[in-house]
Amino acid sequence: MKRITTATIRDRKKNGEAITMLTAYDYWTAVLLDQAEIDMFLVGDSLGNVMLGYESTLPVTMEDMIHHTKAVCRGTQQAMVVADMPFLSYQVSVEEAVRNAGRLLKETGAQAVKVEGGQAVAPAVAAMVKAGIPVVGHLGLTPQAVHQLGGYKVQGKEERAAQQLLEDARLLESCGAFAIVLECVPSLLAKKVTQSLGIATIGIGAGADCDGQVLVTHDLLGLSTGFTPKFVKKYADLQQNITAAVTAYKKEVTARTFPAPEHGFAMDGGVLEKLY
């Protein structure tokens, strides 16, 4: 199996071959998704919500990201691992951005980082790329800005916002980003952005015309505990499966039907009789 690289992603864009990306936050998910030959794993700061129970992605730290990204990298042979830069790890200064992005690659084995925003983060993106760090952009609904956006809602519906998003996308490309996630933007705007760029767009709630798609793995598996956004398709209902399994376990332990004899270990013959 050959490792997916930034060169692979560029080729996919050129050849019009769809790119598949999913979130992964731990070792076993990485192993399973790698077997399924998913192209890119996003260690999203959504792990703050999904794995750590925070109400937003804002509390997620560099240490959280490093911890989870290392686990994902240990389970990954083929996919490209992209680590989200957490809130405040790249916004304060270009210098801090490069140092933190570098840490994510250096200390985890990830191949790329992702940052949210356009114009405001462009100098940081350019500096990271200059330092040899592959960068994925993220435009549209950028969850780290949830308080500024006034909630989780579709972005770029009206002309000014749409134009701004298109310009931000071009700017990120000119700064050297090799792909851009488009989250919760109108399908036609995502199509326009995709056609306007030489780098890949990866959509989530951005229609079918992006170069690739990403979802939160827990959402597609039916493992989410809260609200499920409109753009999610549930490919399984693991939550129901898990609840049924642990309920059956509880029942059998309570009834003393688990463990059964076949789950136990035998002793050498005659040993029991010698015990006193």
Q: Which residues form the interface with Na ion (CB under 5 A)?
A: 44-45, 84
| Contact call for residue 140 and ligand KIV (CB under 6 A) | no
Shortest Å, Cβ 263 to ligand KIV = 39
Judge whether 102 and 58 are in contact, CB under 8 Å: no
- The answer to whether 45 is annotated as binding is yes
Nearer to Na ion, 118 or 192 (CB): 118
User: Which 8-state DSSP code applies to residue 235?
Assistant: S
Question: 29 or 46, CB closer to ligand KIV?
Answer: 46
Check: CB of residue 79 under 8 Å from CB of residue 4: yes
Which residue's structure tokens are 């409109």?
230
Closest alpha carbon to 37 in 11, 2, 6? 2
Cβ–Cβ under 8 Å, residues 208 and 187: yes
Kindly provide the residue ranges of all beta strands, DSSP E only, lying in 145-275, ordered along the sequence. 179-183, 200-204, 212-215
Is 84 a known ligand-binding residue?
Answer: yes
CB atoms within 10 A of CB 44: 30
Token pair for residue 124?
Answer: 């940081």
Tell whether residue 46 is among the known ligand binding residues: yes
Whole-angstrom Cα distance, residue 50 to residue 48? 6
Among 204, 206, 210, 221, binds ligand KIV (CB under 6 A): 204
The structure tokens listed for 253 are 């332990």
Q: Is 64 in the site for ligand KIV (CB under 6 A)?
A: no
**Closest to Na ion by CB, 85 or 122:** 85
Among 9, 13, 22, 23, binds ligand KIV (CB under 6 A): 23
The answer to whether 33 contacts ligand KIV (rule: CB under 6 A) is: no
Q: Which of 159, 167, 183, 273 is catalytic?
A: 183
> Is the Cβ of residue 141 or residue 162 nearer to ligand KIV in the bound state?
141
Residue 183 annotated to the active site: yes
Which residues contribute to the site for ligand KIV (CB under 6 A)? 23, 42, 44-46, 84, 181, 183, 204, 214, 216
